[in-house]
Structure 1
Amino acid sequence: MNTSRAAARSPLTSRRSVLKTGAGAAALLSLTGFLDACRGSAASTGSSEVGKATGQPIKTLKVGLPGTLSNLYPGQESGILNYYVAALTMEGLVSIDKTGATQPAVASSWHRPDASTYVYTIREGVKFTDGTVLTVEDVLYSLTMAQSAKSSPSTSASFSNVKSVKQTGENEITIALSAPSEAFEWVPSAASSLFIAPKAYWEKNNGQIGTPDALLTGTGPYRVAGFAADSSVRLEATGTWWAGKPPVEAIEISFISDDNTRYLAEKSGSIDMSFNVPLQSLTQWKSLPQTRVLSVPDRSWVGLVYNLGASPTNDVHVRRAIAHCIDRDAVVKELLHGEGQVATALSTPEQFVGVYSAAEATRKLAGVPQYAFSIEQAKAELAQSSVPQGFSTTLQYPNTGPQLGTAALSLAANLKQIGIELEVKEVALSQWLDNLGDTTAPLRYMWYFNTTPDPAELVTYLLYNQPAANLAGYADPNVMAMLQQAGTETDPAKRAALIVQAQQSAGSDLPYLPLWWGRSLTAFSDTVGVDGFSSYTFESPWADSLYAAA
């Protein structure tokens, strides 16, 4: 899975109607208070226009990354930032373009002779960043490593449906599945779960790559020239990429977790580009001269994970009480500054591309059972629960998502009104990722970035319970049956309908509480242009989309 890796409007209580009740007004004021504390003073408007293309290469691109990475290989550490770095040097058989369409990568072409078989023609003349020529054997061994729970613990489950992988021609491999799977189209990409490296390199490092001592080596445009864990990474163009010379010669990525430090670096010109501009200081970032902030839907999902195997969240009345205590409309409008949408389900509307428009998907996903903001309804639900007097618990959020913390503080203020004490704790991104599998915590945050256009990506991860239990410990035979059918359904419209129906069915059990679908905010210097910027840009060799501007 890829966490912190993945938008509909529902007919929820509007902000205006919330303000008509005392409890609603108090809750909204508490959120507004948090926001006022974060915003600081307003600033004047700065430049927001990119200069004209110069036609010259960018010598060195300096990037600020809002988190720290201890391993660059997404198979080991699967945060979205790991994917962004790996995309510059690693490739799979296929790639995903800026529109979300599947394109050739190490495979020059592929076809499906039947619903359970994928046949790939391996591109000739491909070189790794160390200069060695790629062979079919390298591809086969990388697929073996991708399926290994030891070498790729974070992504190996994506290959659980694979029955066999064989060389079936001089430059051809065939992957046979145990059952038809439309979702497998995206699996052998570096946006999902396949990262092709030399067989000899895998063997030399005992299947453990991505560390400072075993730098990523792939077929992309850049080699990793240096990596200091939790500090920085440097990449340099090698001239070996099969797709040609990229427009950026070197990339220096600094891991800057502190938002203010990253802002000052952008302000001083020390960095040319920054991922994940913090929402609480968006106004200040937009006011920086010679800087522009670009926003696109990023297909991310923020929500709460209820532990159905632990008390008291194994009680549906407790889950409903918590759900009624967060004003999602106010969060999106006030906290996110409109840079997001209230989430009504697990899939994001943009993932139904080719079947539904985003607006049509929004309407269909709104059919999932919803829980409107109401302190009175929350009190009534808690009164029916196993803990009518309330309880205490903790909710952790990653330091790379301060907006999650602010939303959690607002939720905590509301929960206190009904007798629930929620301690909100900020932890490092790496620690938060490690703690996602904690089976003792009653309540957890999930911040998930879908890396593929598959509307079932997060749905399968959170609702399917085979071969391992999902995060909530949720298991429903009807939902499982619908997801199994969706997994083998080859008609896109029928498959999409099944994915929506599965979420509608699970929604009444409330194993997860969708909060919002996000947008990506990226700051660029006006001397750096970007072509065709979209929510998929950073999931392929994204520096190839940049150009020098003046």
Structure 2
Amino acid sequence: MARIAALVALLLLTGCATTQAAAPKDTLVWATSLPVHTFDIAHGFDTSTLAQFSVLDTPVTLDGNGQVVPSLAESWKETKPGVYDFQLRKGVRFSDGTLLTADDVAFSLRRHLDPNVASEAASYVVHVKSVEATGENSVRVTLRQPTAAFLAVSALAWQVVPRKLAEAHPKDLGSPQVGTLGTGPYKVAKFSLTDGVTLVRNDQYWGPKPELARIEIRTINDPEALRLAIKQGSVDATSDVPIRDARKWTGIPGVATGFYPANSIFFLSFDVTDGPLKDVHVRRAIAHAIDKDALVRLGTGGHGSAAAALLTAPQLKTLYGDKGSPLTRTYPHDIGKAKAELALSPYPDGFAMTIPFTPNSEDALTMQAIISDLAKIGIRITVESMPADAYRARLMSHDRAGMQLHRLVYGTPDPGEVLPDLLSQASAEPQGWNFALYGSAALDAALDRMLTTSGPARIPLVDTILNEVAEQVPYVPLYYFDGAYALNERFTIKVNAWTLDIFSAIRMAG
């Protein structure tokens, strides 16, 4: 069946290549393996941000070094600890010509705090106490306590939308049925879950005119079909180059393939509140049983490295330099130690467990290797295949969390983006990203201390949190992987881990 599907995809792509007229020079056809499903980060803090950041502005953004720089806000000042006053640009308009107001900007952050919205970005703004428009072009954010990561995470989560539209659609803003309005360099001309997305230049944009006039985003979920589409020229670009098979992509005539250290991490989460995974010795046994080096070889094709800590490689480098994280407890691959840990649990001979997974995922080989490693210590895993949308709904509702494999990509160099997201009690609520459901008042306090501290004094506080994770194992960091792209040589791009608006970074060659 897989061969038949690949053949059908090939025939379809070949047909498209011969019957479609060549796209205009300033049009880019981009392919993704997963469809853009919403233009609202509150309900699509995932691969949909690829398109969101070209349409929806934030008050601040990140430069090529990961530093916070102005965007919709011309300037800001922390007038006293934990209180930020933003001065907005004058005359900014949404793509329909409506004038942006300070009230729109304030509301766009405040809505993530509304439980009726059930925002996936809520854990990013949990320290926000209040947001208010204080003048025609000024907004004040008051935090519950000073938080060093606030500005950096604002570059991700604080996407600005019209208040009137968002209040009318708290659950379906950004959907194909409702759409959205933004102040970014592009606007949405077409949006369909089946037919893809078309973005066109926003003539109302306050900033530099983007070089590309039109972006067509299509979904091709079969990696080989995607590669053939790039090779044949029916698709110009993608960032979904399968890292483990990158050698197949390098050397395609007329196509540049690039790699860079991504702000990303592969890890396992364990529901510490239920079943065998509730026992710390079971979790430690699993950590020892998994051969991370083998996973790196299998999953990255040489474009990755084993992960020891629950931060990405760029974040660790920003914090620790070349020293790495000083963990007091590590879990080298050792079946003997894994069995010894399991013997300390109520399950010395192992147990059976069913976990959800999406079929045809590019992570399937990694999952198979993990299943094989765990079988060696008597842990028998059965995979429950689920469609991607059903899996995501179950994942975000924290329904039967069990053990799950995650590939997460982050946006800033600040550990305050990741650690509260995965470890705070607030994020353990449904729609949060604490899939381990691990947390405590003491850990929340440690996270708060880390968030309110900046400079070198922050390092020992991060050490404390990372060492608790290493000791209690609510997560097993597996490996880091590079970001990769394939781009028709008619275009050029300068991209790194901190690039948020990819489409505006693309230029026409020559």
Q: Is the 8 A contact 1:316 1:509 kept in 2?
A: yes
Rounded Cα–Cα distance in structure 1 between residues aligned with 2:390 and 2:244: 23
Mapping 1:24-173, distance limit 5 Å: 58-79=25-46, 81-151=47-117, 153-173=119-139
In the TM superposition, residue 425 of structure 1 has moved relative to its aligned partner by 5.0
Q: Which moved more, 1:253-262 or 1:276-285?
A: 276-285
Rounded Cα–Cα distance in structure 2 between residues aligned with 1:395 and 1:440: 9
After superposition, the Cα gap between the structure-2 partners of 1:399 and 1:199, relative to the gap in structure 1 and judged at 3 Å, is same
Map Cα deviations across residues 504-536 of structure 1 (whole Å, 9 max, x no partner): 1231111111101221111111111013x2112
Rounded Cα–Cα distance in structure 2 between residues aligned with 1:486 and 1:283: 41
Q: Which moved more, 1:465-474 or 1:323-332?
A: 465-474
Mapping 1:401-412, distance limit 5 Å: 402=362, 404-412=363-371
* Partner in structure 2 of residue 510 of structure 1: 473
* Partner in structure 2 of residue 52 of structure 1: none
Rounded Cα–Cα distance in structure 2 between residues aligned with 1:447 and 1:507: 19
* Partner in structure 2 of residue 25 of structure 1: none
Q: Which amino acid aligns with 2:497?
A: S
After superposition, the Cα gap between the structure-2 partners of 1:401 and 1:519, relative to the gap in structure 1 and judged at 3 Å, is farther
Q: Is the 8 A contact 1:146 1:195 kept in 2?
A: no
Aligned with residue 432 of structure 1, among 355, 378, 391: 391
* Partner in structure 2 of residue 383 of structure 1: 343
Secondary structure of 1:287 counterpart: coil
In the TM superposition, residue 71 of structure 1 has moved relative to its aligned partner by 2.0
* Partner in structure 2 of residue 241 of structure 1: 205
Q: Is the 8 A contact 1:257 1:399 kept in 2?
A: no
After superposition, the Cα gap between the structure-2 partners of 1:207 and 1:93, relative to the gap in structure 1 and judged at 3 Å, is farther
Mapping 1:276-355, distance limit 5 Å: 276-351=240-315, 355=319
Q: Is the 8 A contact 1:396 1:444 kept in 2?
A: yes
* Partner in structure 1 of residue 417 of structure 2: 457
Aligned with residue 534 of structure 1, among 487, 496, 503: 496
Q: Is the 8 A contact 1:75 1:151 kept in 2?
A: yes
Q: Which amino acid aligns with 2:365?
A: T
Q: Is the 8 A contact 2:245 2:301 kept in 1?
A: no
Aligned with residue 485 of structure 2, among 498, 503, 522: 522
Rounded Cα–Cα distance in structure 1 between residues aligned with 2:281 and 2:117: 41
Q: Is the 8 A contact 2:401 2:436 kept in 1?
A: no
Mapping 1:175-214, distance limit 5 Å: 175-189=141-155, 191=156, 193-205=157-169, 208-214=172-178
After superposition, the Cα gap between the structure-2 partners of 1:69 and 1:170, relative to the gap in structure 1 and judged at 3 Å, is closer
Rounded Cα–Cα distance in structure 2 between residues aligned with 1:373 and 1:312: 21
Aligned length: 482
Identity percentage of aligned residues? 29
Q: Is the 8 A contact 2:36 2:51 kept in 1?
A: no
- TM-score, normalised to structure 2, is 0.89
Q: Which amino acid aligns with 2:300?
A: L
Q: Is the 8 A contact 1:455 1:496 kept in 2?
A: no
After superposition, the Cα gap between the structure-2 partners of 1:84 and 1:116, relative to the gap in structure 1 and judged at 3 Å, is same
Map Cα deviations across residues 412-459 of structure 1 (whole Å, 9 max, x no partner): 122222222112455444333323243434311122111222113221
Rounded Cα–Cα distance in structure 1 between residues aligned with 2:483 and 2:370: 24
Q: Which moved more, 1:429-438 or 1:334-343?
A: 429-438
| Greater RCO structure (CA 8 Å; 6+ sep) | 1
Q: Which amino acid aligns with 2:364?
A: G
**Structure 1 position 420 matched with structure 2 position 420:** no
How big is the alpha-carbon RMSD for the aligned residues of Structure 1 and Structure 2? Answer: 2.2
Rounded Cα–Cα distance in structure 1 between residues aligned with 2:196 and 2:410: 25
Q: Which moved more, 1:161-170 or 1:305-314?
A: 161-170
* Partner in structure 1 of residue 3 of structure 2: none
Q: Is the 8 A contact 2:243 2:301 kept in 1?
A: yes
Secondary structure of 1:324 counterpart: helix
Q: Is the 8 A contact 1:351 1:455 kept in 2?
A: yes
Q: Which amino acid aligns with 1:67?
A: L
Secondary structure of 1:292 counterpart: strand
**Structure 1 position 495 matched with structure 2 position 458:** yes
Secondary structure of 1:547 counterpart: strand
* Partner in structure 2 of residue 270 of structure 1: 234
Q: Which amino acid aligns with 1:74?
A: I
Map Cα deviations across residues 262-316 of structure 1 (whole Å, 9 max, x no partner): 1111111011101220134211111311112111121111111111111111112
Q: Which amino acid aligns with 1:303?
A: F
Q: Is the 8 A contact 1:368 1:503 kept in 2?
A: no
Secondary structure of 1:248 counterpart: coil
Q: Is the 8 A contact 2:128 2:143 kept in 1?
A: yes
Q: Is the 8 A contact 2:189 2:199 kept in 1?
A: yes
Q: Is the 8 A contact 2:264 2:313 kept in 1?
A: no
Map Cα deviations across residues 25-81 of structure 1 (whole Å, 9 max, x no partner): xxxxxxxxxxxxxxxxxxxxxxxxxxxxxxxx95210000111233231211221x2
Secondary structure of 1:456 counterpart: helix
Q: Is the 8 A contact 2:298 2:366 kept in 1?
A: no
Q: Which moved more, 1:264-273 or 1:63-72?
A: 63-72
After superposition, the Cα gap between the structure-2 partners of 1:373 and 1:206, relative to the gap in structure 1 and judged at 3 Å, is closer
Rounded Cα–Cα distance in structure 2 between residues aligned with 1:313 and 1:285: 40
Secondary structure of 1:301 counterpart: strand
Q: Is the 8 A contact 2:446 2:465 kept in 1?
A: yes
Q: Which amino acid aligns with 2:230?
A: E
Aligned with residue 260 of structure 1, among 212, 224, 227: 224
Secondary structure of 1:188 counterpart: helix
* Partner in structure 2 of residue 250 of structure 1: 214
After superposition, the Cα gap between the structure-2 partners of 1:63 and 1:400, relative to the gap in structure 1 and judged at 3 Å, is farther
Map Cα deviations across residues 476-525 of structure 1 (whole Å, 9 max, x no partner): 55533321211222x32112331122111231111111101221111111
Q: Which amino acid aligns with 2:366?
A: A
Rounded Cα–Cα distance in structure 1 between residues aligned with 2:359 and 2:320: 35
Rounded Cα–Cα distance in structure 2 between residues aligned with 1:205 and 1:459: 31
Rounded Cα–Cα distance in structure 1 between residues aligned with 2:136 and 2:57: 21
Give the unaligned 5+ runs of structure 2: 1-23
Q: Which amino acid aligns with 1:420?
A: I
After superposition, the Cα gap between the structure-2 partners of 1:396 and 1:543, relative to the gap in structure 1 and judged at 3 Å, is same
Q: Is the 8 A contact 2:243 2:481 kept in 1?
A: no
Q: Which amino acid aligns with 1:374?
A: D
Rounded Cα–Cα distance in structure 2 between residues aligned with 1:508 and 1:494: 22
Aligned with residue 373 of structure 1, among 313, 325, 333: 333
